[in-house]
Each structure stands twice: as C-alpha cells, then as structure tokens.
C-alpha cells in the first residue's frame, strides 16, 4: 500500500518543524529522534521511513533549500544580456523570507557553515555576472577569491540580519538599500 504524496509531504514537514523547534535552542548533536517524533506526534518508525538519522534530516532540509535557490539562479543566468539584479535579488529574498524559519537559523552563528559556503557558491555566478569585474579587470586567482568573499560575505550577512530583524524593513526598500550600499558604482545601472 503506497502512501499518498500529500500525506508523505505533510508528515515530513511536521517532522522537520519539530526538529527545527529543537534546533533553534540547542546543537544538532543534542537532539534525538525520540524528541523529534514526540513533538511531531509520530512514532520513531515513521521518522526512519524518511531519514536515516537526525543528520540526514538536517542535510535534506539544507539540500532542499539550496536546490530551490540553485534553480532560481540557473533561471536568472539563462537570461541573455545584462541581468536585472533588483528583480533577481528580490526573487532570492522572497524565497528566503518564505523559508525564514530555516534561513534565519542557517545564516546565523548557530547555523551550519557548510550551508553558507554552498550558498556562496550558488550566488557568486549571479553577482559576478552583474558586476562583470572578474571578466573586465585582470586579477590574480587570489584577488578574485578575496573579491568574491568580500561581496558574498557582506550580502549573506545583510540578508541574515534582515531576516532576523524583529522590525524587518519592507522587501523593496531593503533591496534598494542593499544594492546601493553593496554596489555603489553600479547604482545608476540597477534595474
């Protein structure tokens, strides 16, 4: 007997929600399957239908978010000509906001540094294409890496701070502020 996809997704979502409730307050290594299933209202066997262990669950959550972001960026990069950075960053921020229960933790000091590294890898081609610096200016490999880290660390830190703000700035105002602050030489070209 196969379960209906809606039931499976709802069950997984409930388990993830229970995990996330615990993960906000303590390290992953201190979270047990028993605690997750008690909060979610399932037995341990249900958990093991979908996940090998707590680390597998965490990995699947991260992979899911990064796949969403990766697909968005791939669509943006497929566009010909100069990219519309305002619209593209807006799309990414809208996605981050809709998944803010996860993103706020993952982008915080409590989050997984590997997630941030992988996110940077996804964002860089978009930022690099917009800036066009690494294609138009001769740089050493080390200089490119420093520039990449400078822009991405700032962008991710600003997004994390914005998501964690209790009095969050409206999305359109935040986009205009962030792009003008991070790309001041490009501000006239920001569309």
Q: What is the CATH number of the domain that holds 34?
A: 1.10.10
Tell me the CA distances in angstroms from 30 to 9, 22, 61, 107, one per residue in order: 25, 9, 18, 20
Judge if 41 and 124 occupy the same domain: no
pLDDT on residue 138: 81
Q: Is residue 111 classed as helix, strand or coil in its secondary structure? A: coil
Alpha carbon 39 to its chain's center: 25
pLDDT on residue 54: 96
Judge if 120 and 45 occupy the same domain: no
pLDDT on residue 1: 46
Q: What are the pLDDT digits (tens) for 125-137?
A: 888 887 776 566 7
Judge if 152 and 135 occupy the same domain: yes
Judge if 66 and 115 occupy the same domain: yes
Q: Which residues of 119-154 are buried (b: 16+ CB within 10 A; e: fewer)?
A: bbebbbebbbbbbebbeeeeeeeeeeeebbeebbee
| Domain assignment present for 191 | no
Cα 119 to Cα 107: distance, rounded to the nearest angstrom = 10
- Average pLDDT value for residue range 116-131: 87
Judge if 5 and 84 occupy the same domain: no
Largest CA distance in the chain: 61
**Whole-number percent of the chain with pLDDT over 70:** 89
| Domain assignment present for 153 | yes
Judge if 39 and 76 occupy the same domain: no
**pLDDT band of 186, cuts 50, 70, 90:** low
Judge if 73 and 148 occupy the same domain: yes
- Which tokens belong to 76? 């943006």
Asked whether residue 191 carries a pLDDT value surpassing 60, the answer given is no
Burial of residue 20 (number of CB atoms within 10 Å: 0-12, 13-18, 19+): middle
pLDDT on residue 55: 95
Total count of residues recorded for the chain: 191
Q: Are 46 and 11 in contact (CB under 8 A)?
A: yes
Name the residue range of residue 97's domain.
Answer: 58-186
Q: Which residues of 158-182 are buried (b: 16+ CB within 10 A; e: fewer)?
A: ebbebbeeeeeeeeeebbbebbeeb
pLDDT on residue 77: 83
| Domain assignment present for 88 | yes
Question: Count of domains in the chain?
Answer: 2
pLDDT on residue 190: 44
pLDDT on residue 25: 87
pTM of the model: 0.81
pLDDT on residue 13: 92
Q: What are the pLDDT digits (tens) for 47-84?
A: 999 999 999 999 999 999 999 999 988 888 887 766 77
- Spatial CA neighbour of 131 closest among 117, 118, 144, 116: 144
pLDDT on residue 35: 97
**CATH number of the structural domain spanning residue 62:** 1.10.357.10
- Token look-up 């070209």 returns 189
| Domain assignment present for 127 | yes
Asked whether residue 2 carries a pLDDT value surpassing 50, the answer given is yes
Cα 17 to Cα 104: distance, rounded to the nearest angstrom = 14
Judge if 156 and 74 occupy the same domain: yes
Judge if 121 and 182 occupy the same domain: yes
Judge if 155 and 79 occupy the same domain: yes
Of residues 133 and 139, more confidence is placed in 139
Judge if 39 and 70 occupy the same domain: no
Asked whether residue 188 carries a pLDDT value surpassing 80, the answer given is no
Judge if 62 and 133 occupy the same domain: yes
């Amino acid at each position: 007997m196969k379960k209906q996809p809606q039931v499976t997704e709802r069950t997984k979502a409930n388990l993830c929600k229970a995990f996330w409730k615990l993960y906000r307050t303590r390290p992953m290594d201190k979270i047990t399957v028993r605690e997750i299933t008690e909060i979610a209202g399932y037995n341990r066997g249900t958990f093991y239908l979908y996940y090998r262990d707590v680390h597998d669950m965490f990995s699947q959550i991260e992979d899911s978010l990064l796949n969403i972001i990766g697909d968005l960026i791939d669509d943006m990069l497929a566009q010909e000509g100069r990219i519309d950075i305002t619209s593209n960053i807006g799309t990414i921020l809208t996605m981050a906001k809709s998944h803010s229960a996860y993103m706020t933790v993952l982008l915080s000091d409590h989050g997984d540094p590997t997630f941030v590294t992988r996110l940077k890898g996804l964002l860089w081609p978009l930022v690099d294409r917009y800036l066009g610096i690494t294609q138009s200016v001769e740089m050493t490999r080390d200089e490119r890496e420093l520039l990449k880290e400078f822009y991405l660390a700032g962008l991710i830190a600003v997004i994390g701070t914005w998501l964690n703000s209790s009095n969050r700035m409206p999305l359109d105002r935040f986009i205009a502020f962030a792009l003008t602050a991070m790309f001041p030489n490009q501000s006239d070209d920001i569309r």
